[in-house]
Structure 1
Amino acid sequence: PVTQSKTPVSEPVVAPVSAPMPNLKPSIPYPSRCDNERRRMDECLALSDLGASINLMPLAVWKELSLPELTLTCMTLELADHSVSKPIGIAKDVSVKVGMFHFPADFVVVDFKPDPRVPLILGRCFLKTGRALIDVHKGELTLRIRCEAITYNLDQTSRYSANYDQMTANKIDVTDEACEEYS
């Protein structure tokens, strides 16, 4: 089972980009994915979650950002209350801006009501792409690309605290099932 930690980034720093970014001197790991000039950016918060093996995005956020078509998936999610949810699809290669950096990320899109404080959940795969270093003692999260880095103080996140006892989906297990129509 995958258990989410509830540590949001300390300020609105994550901005999914609905169209590819211009081909400037890239500071992203995959510059070939980003070659158009115009892009639309919407700022929102995100939850950095070491326990999550996937990046989650609510369907409402996907629609609001006008992202490209979703890729179908056979994935099934088991929520904390042991109910099963089928994702709508996967948003591939979404460019996520954190500070001055842009990272490509795939998001599993699920039809649930987003928490307006942290509508995106960024899992281990995103943190790995961003070469995240987490210093628990200092309360810092550092993302790096090459020799550039940006650091966030996680101890300043108390303004985003919530009563998690009232939430039902505090754990998500990813279950891959073989689908006959895709085999």
Structure 2
Amino acid sequence: MPLEEAFKLIPLSQTFLRDEVMKRIKERKWLAVQNHECKAVLEKKIIVQEKLEDPGSFTLPCSLGPSVFRNCLCDFGASVSLMPLSVAKRLGFDNYKPSNLSLVLADRPIRRPYGLLENLSIRIGHVEVPTYFIVLEMDAEPMDPLILGRPFLASAGAMIDVRKGKVDLHLGSDLVLKFNIDGATKKPTINGQLFSIEEVDQLPDEPFKDPDKEIAKLGLSEAVEDKVREISEVMENERRSSVQT
């Protein structure tokens, strides 16, 4: 091989060796960085969050027609918004659409809604949010009668910060209404009872019958009460006898 050709091969050999050495160095640096990051993750201290109390349900001030409601309950657990029949009558509504929803109270009795009010506009500040309400007949009107369910809260762009007790309504690209919640209600109630809202199949057209009233009509309520009282007395006598022995 001519010497000139041999000299041409020397730089190629040096470049190959240099590239191999640099490749090995980069691999070692990468391994060192990875080991350092893994070690840092393993050595991180566990952060313990502060335990907070139940902030309760959140409320919003709003108006419907001429009536102002200072505390409307925001309930993400409700698939509909709820209005007492007394409020609906006070607002002048008399045409209700049939509804296939049922309201289930905490002790599981089913309350049949009076009807459905569609295409109502709830005003918050200077903004109107369209929604619908399930109307329910109640023995006594709650202090905070309107319950705003998920459809309304979604339409209003509601974002609730549970930690800070704030509700933000994103009503447009540049319109955000902010509310601070003080002394929120612990749980939404109807006549003092917790409730949930569940969808059921279409209910029959016959009027809903209250089991307690039906029993009273049959004259069985007093007999049942006497039987319960008799059993209670027997249990109390047995308890006293066991204590004395």
Asked if Structure 1 and Structure 2 have the same fold, meaning a TM-score greater than 0.5 normalized by the shorter chain, the answer is yes
Name the residue aligned to 2:118.
92
Distance 1:93 1:153, change over 3 A: same
Name the residue aligned to 1:137.
163
Name the residue aligned to 2:57.
7
- Match of residue 178, structure 1, among 186, 202, 215: 202
Query: How many aligned positions are there?
Result: 148
Whether the 8 Å contact between 2:166 and 2:178 is mirrored in structure 1 is: yes
How far did residue 87 of structure 1 move?
0.3
Secondary structure in 2 aligned to 1:72? coil
Whether the 8 Å contact between 1:15 and 1:42 is mirrored in structure 2 is: yes
Q: TM-score, normalised by structure 1?
A: 0.71
Alignment of 1:34-183 (within 5 A): 41-44=66-69, 45-67=71-93, 69-112=95-138, 113-116=140-143, 118-146=144-172, 147-154=174-181, 156=182, 158=183, 161=185, 168-179=192-203
Name whichever structure is richer in helix by fraction: 2
Name the residue aligned to 1:34.
none
Distance 1:62 1:51, change over 3 A: same
Q: TM-score, normalised by structure 2?
A: 0.54
Distance 1:125 1:163, change over 3 A: closer
1 or 2 for the larger relative contact order (CA 8 Å, sep ≥6)?
1
What is the root-mean-square deviation of aligned Cα atoms in Å?
2.6
Whether the 8 Å contact between 2:78 and 2:150 is mirrored in structure 1 is: yes
Amino acid in the other structure paired with 1:149? V
How far did residue 111 of structure 1 move?
0.1
Distance 1:179 1:97, change over 3 A: same
**Greater Cα radius of gyration, structure 1 or 2:** 2
**In 2, Cα distance between equivalents of 1:103 and 1:139:** 22
Q: Is there any run of 5+ residues in structure 1 with no aligned partner, and where?
A: 18-40
Amino acid in the other structure paired with 1:76? S
Percentage identity across aligned positions?
Answer: 26
Amino acid in the other structure paired with 2:127? F
Whether the 8 Å contact between 1:78 and 1:175 is mirrored in structure 2 is: no
Q: Is there any run of 5+ residues in structure 2 with no aligned partner, and where?
A: 1-54, 206-245
**In 1, Cα distance between equivalents of 2:154 and 2:130:** 11
How far did residue 94 of structure 1 move?
1.0
